[in-house]
Amino acid sequence: MNIIVILAPLSLLLGGLALVFFFWTLRNGQYEDPAGDAARILLPDADDRPV
Amino acid sequence: MALIDAAASVDLSGFVRRGQGAAEADFVVRGARCAACLGKIERGVLALPDVAQCRLNLSTGRLHVAWEGGRADPGRILSTVEALGYSCAPFDPGQGRRDVDREGRELALALGVSGFGAANVMMFTVPIWAGLFGQELGEHSRQTLYWLSGIVATPCTLYAGQPFYRSAFAALRRGHANMDVPITLGVGLALAMSFYETWRGAGHAYFDAAVSLIFLLLIGRFLDHKLRRSARSAASDLLALQAPVAQVLDGRGVVHGMPVSQVRPGDRLVIQPGERVPVDATLLEGASEIDLSLVTGESRPEATSVGMRLAAGVLVLNGKLVVQAASGAEDSSLADLARLMEAGAQAKTAYTRLADRAAALYIPVVHTLAAVTLVLGWALTRSFETGLVRASAVLIVTCPCALGLAVPAVQVAASARLFRRGVLVKSGVALERLAEVDSVVFDKTGVLTDPTPEIVDLEPEVLAAAAELARASRHPLCRALAAKAGTGVVARDVVETAGQGLEGVVGGRRARLGRAGFVGSGALDGPETELWFAREGQPAVRIAFSERLRPGALEIVRHLRQRGLQLRILSGDRGDAVERVADAVGIDHWRAALTPQEKLAEIEALQRAGRKVLMIGDGLNDAAALSIAHASMAPGEASEVSQTAADLVFTGGDLGVVADALGVARLARAMALQNFAFSALYNAVAIPAAMAGMVTPLLAALAMSGSSLVVMGNAARLTLSRRQA
């Protein structure tokens, strides 16, 4: 069971990393225009950076 | 279609926000749906000189444009987008700020944090539950897992639960309790008791329940917020498209386009034919006929005279006017109208929400039971501690997760369904009130009748000839005439005399179209709206217009009557016009020539008699009645004040959606009640178990999450079901 001492913090670290990335996408405006993002992928020359 | 045809020539600099060496502006674009539209618009706008950046948000229909240097030309953007075939209007987000959804972002953050917490705590909790079924798990491992759960769950719950704690404390400070009070209490107790139990080594910890409860409740809040926001932004787009620009004349006689909200009293404004007067104003120059239908409900145009007072919302038909603003935009509706609306809004805040009514029943019962548990537990087991633990367990398992979701989940599903049908629901309470109505009051002009008039029979040859003249004018009657005749040639040498009519050359002969006196028929004004048409050497012909019923008007009246609702018409228009419409749709109770105050009084009298009234109106004269009625709806073409006053706004012109809205509201109410019944059942099982000290953390977690999922699943039926309610 001692392996928990390593595995538990590791999983928290990975989960925390995902949370940090979620914060980043949110602040980066990646949820502002879901319909537009779906459309931009089809255009060769559209500006596909987030707002 | 452009609402401001002169867009290219009007200076729209009032909409441009300037920073250091750069300028930006926002526009509303309608009709863009796909990648091709998006590419076409962005490429088109980027090709314009000085445009540095252009971004169309396909989800909200907002176009953001930034220019480099100081040279910004918003008029070019409008004409470019319109030339591509989309309607476009400048949009003023207000106070020069970009429209940021701060609350939505906070909720999303909280949702992320609680999701992280719920997932990780679950990871630590599942082994413990597995241990309950005989798998090997040592005492120390279990304690470690509990401590880990506590370390993760506590900060997540404290952070993510803030929306609930804030609302609960705000309610307590005002001296009453809402659903967030037991939620806060339950979560707080669950955390405190879990730490105590873990410290004691007893192993009845509820960390997982606390954090997943917050997670589930936040899902409901988040969806609710998103929906409300999209309805609000759709409503503000409607208004932006309706009255986008005020043309302000400066001291040197130059016209500037400005957001209506920036107009100050004393400004001189130019009103083109076909535009609405944006604020209350006094007429300085020019003559025209004006359409008062949004202001008073009167359907027949009126002539202007210099010095006349024009109320905001008056439609200028055929002459260019210069007016002086008598007030700013905020107080442009009449002062007493604003006061009447305020009174109505106050009456509505007294309405108790379904959820609050449930909370009022639920809170005392649960808290009494918890107290009884404490006393009984103490007396029976001779241990105060056991009593306290059982009382806390009662408060934790009854934490109203399902009850808290019961109403919002249903309202979100119902509003989403109506949103797809073109009905914007401003608040969830509005749906609850709508479900209760037993009488419907219609305004006539613009609600039961279509805004464009219909021509009463006319010879095709006369129609074709008159249409040649009519095509040159923006007067609504001329437009109706031109629309009926279809495309064709325009008469030569057309001169329009404001308030009188048009003269030009049709088929080589001089012809006149307009009022009886202008055309020279010698007839008096008839009861119906009319135009006269005369060609040189021929007698004048009368072209009569009648109001046309809005699509779906007949069906909706029949449908509502079948459902046992009492129907009435309250109109500001003349008696004969109202009678004709009332006969056509088959409504017996009607009153005509009412002032806004009289409309309000009528509704109040009905409501005092115990009736719950749904008011459907579009004019400024309906705003007070809309705000006092139990529930209210306004069409998308209605005046700004009415749309603000109404609970629901329907777009698309068909009155049939009123029945949909009513049906969905009633279905939503039935489902909310089902959810309440389910929550009560759940509590009826859970409370005795908790009182007897039989609730384990596993049971609590299963029961609480399970009940929330059942409630949400029931609400989802509303989205899926095709049943005509």
What local confidence, expressed as pLDDT, does residue B93 receive? 63
Q: Does A24 touch chain B (CB under 8 A)?
A: no
**Where do the DSSP E strands lie in B476-549?**
492-497, 501-506, 509-514, 529-535, 541-546
pLDDT in the model for residue B272? 77
Mutate: best of A23, A33, A48, A49, partner B, most B CBs <10 A = A33
CB-closest option in A4, A11, A32 to B141: A4
Amino acid B493: pLDDT: 79
CB atoms within 10 A of CB B604: 17
Among candidate residues B615, B601, B617, the one with its CA nearest the CA of residue B567:
B615
Q: CA dist B651 to B90, B239, B373, B648, Å? A: 20, 12, 55, 10
Q: Quickly list DSSP for B199-236.
A: HHT-----HHHHHHHHHHHHHHHHHHHHHHHHHHHHHH
Measured in whole angstroms, the distance separating CA B554 from the mean position of its chain's CA atoms is 26
Q: Give the chain B residue whose CA is nearest to the CA of A15.
A: B116
pLDDT at residue B322 in the model = 87
Instruction: Taking the CA atoms of B277, B574, B583 and B437 in sequence, report the sign of the dihedral they define.
Output: positive
* B59:A35 CB<8 A: yes
Paired with B511 in beta bridges are B504, B535
Task: In whole angstroms, give the CA distance from residue B275 to residue B290.
Answer: 10
Determine how β-strand B566-570 pairs with β-strand B439-442. parallel
User: Quick one: pLDDT at residue B144?
Assistant: 83
How many Å lie between the alpha carbon of A27 and the closest alpha carbon of chain B? 8
pLDDT, tens digit, for every residue of B414-462?
Answer: 888 888 888 888 777 788 889 989 999 998 877 888 767 777 777 888 8
Residues of chain B falling short of pLDDT 50: 1-9, 95-97, 333-336, 723-725
Cβ contacts (< 8 Å) between B39 and chain A: which residues? 43, 45-46
Q: Hey, what are B544's tokens?
A: 């009569």
> Can you list the alpha helix ranges (DSSP code H) found in B382-515?
384-397, 401-420, 428-436, 460-470, 476-485
Tokens of B495: 């001169």
Note whether B60 contacts A33, CB cutoff 8 Å. yes
Residues 6+ apart with CB under 8 A from B314: B276, B277, B290, B291, B292, B294, B295
Give me the pLDDT at residue B235, please: 64
Angstroms from B576 CA to nearest CA on chain A: 50
Q: Does B215 touch chain A (CB under 8 A)?
A: no
What integer pLDDT is reported at residue A51 of this predicted model? Answer: 56
Interchain pair B152, A12: CB under 8 A? yes
3-state secondary structure of B546: strand
Integer Cα distance of B326 and B323 in angstroms: 9
Is A51 in Cβ contact with B57 (below 8 Å)?
A: yes
Ramachandran assignment for B67, one of left (phi > 0), alpha (psi -120 to 50 degrees), beta (any other): beta
Report the residue of A17, A21, A37, A43 to disrupt the B interface, i.e. the one with the largest count of B CBs within 10 Å: A43
Count of A-B CB contacts under 8 Å = 61
3-state helix, strand, coil in chain B (%, to 5): 50, 20, 30
| Helix %, strand %, coil % of chain A (to 5) | 60, 0, 40
Asked if the Cβ–Cβ distance from A15 to B119 is below 8 Å, we say yes
**Residue B59 near chain A (CB below 8 Å):** yes
Is the distance from CB of B469 to CB of B511 less than 8 angstroms? yes
Contact (CB, 8 A) for B249 and B269: yes
- The DSSP H or E segment spanning B487 is none
Which of B57, B105, B113 is opposite residue A33, by nearest beta carbon? B57
Spatial CA neighbour of B239 closest among B255, B221, B219, B259 = B259
Q: How many residues does chain B have?
A: 725
The model's pLDDT over B90-134, given as tens digits with 9 standing for 90+, comes to 877 654 345 557 788 889 999 999 999 999 998 888 888 777 666
The per-residue pLDDT for B598 is: 84
Whole-angstrom distance, CA of residue B625 vs CA of residue B210: 46
Q: Is the pTM of this model over 0.95?
A: no
Q: What residues 680-719 of chain B have any CB closer than 8 A to a CB of chain A? A: none
Residue B590 CA to its chain's centroid (Å)? 28
Q: Give me the interface pTM, i.e. the ipTM.
A: 0.86
Tell me the three state secondary structure of residue B647.
coil
